[in-house]
Amino acid sequence: MRAAKVILALCVLPFVLGACGAGSSNNSADEDQITKAIEFDATSGDPKACTEVQTQRFTDQTSGGSGLTGQAAVQSCEKDAASSVADKVEVSDINVDGSSATAKAAVTGSVFDGQTIDIGLVKENGQWKLDEFKGVEDFNREAMISGVTRELSKEGVPTQGVDCVKTQLDKQTDDQLKAFFLDPNSTGAQTIFGPCQQFFGK
């Protein structure tokens, strides 16, 4: 169904970020590499990012909205690598603890426009990689709804379909919206997009 494809394109594409700044950590070399890893994942649109700067766990999480894992999730990530690049991301609060780290990223552009995302990273064989999309901080409800509807329009969804999805999004609580974006494979997807199926075609 075309609706399922659009949901996948919007909500479970590789989580692409760009970086232009960093907070403090105990190791400037680690901090620099973390920033570069996020920037490459975000701005290059390069399918190599799906394996070079993402762990399998991260790829499964962000590309697995249809139950994809392993190589199937990697292939989905590589196919859609260039589809949802943010315009800019302000990275802050990089904290390194041995071979793990966390960072915050305030996103401009993409479906996450206006949100601050919490990211977990790990160091594998000397390379920092995105390991977990941990959630949305300081949730901006209107920005997220606007981001989804804007991306739907860019995907060629008819105005009636976009309006229908917006109506369904407006009905969700903040907690429901955050849960949906953390796990687009949840029942929230059907709640939001199901009533609008007729506008997406096959």
Q: Which fold has domain 13-137?
A: Nuclear Transport Factor 2; Chain: A, (3.10.450)
Give CA–CA dist 120/159, Å, rounded: 37
Q: For residue 113, give the amino acid letter.
A: D
Integer-rounded Cα Rg, in Å, for the chain is: 16
pTM of the model: 0.69
Q: What are phi and psi of 152, to 5 degrees?
A: -60, -45
pLDDT digits (tens, 9 = 90+) for 67-80: 678 998 888 888 87
Q: What pLDDT, in 10s, does the model give residues 32-83?
A: 999 888 888 877 788 999 999 999 999 888 775 556 789 988 888 888 777 6
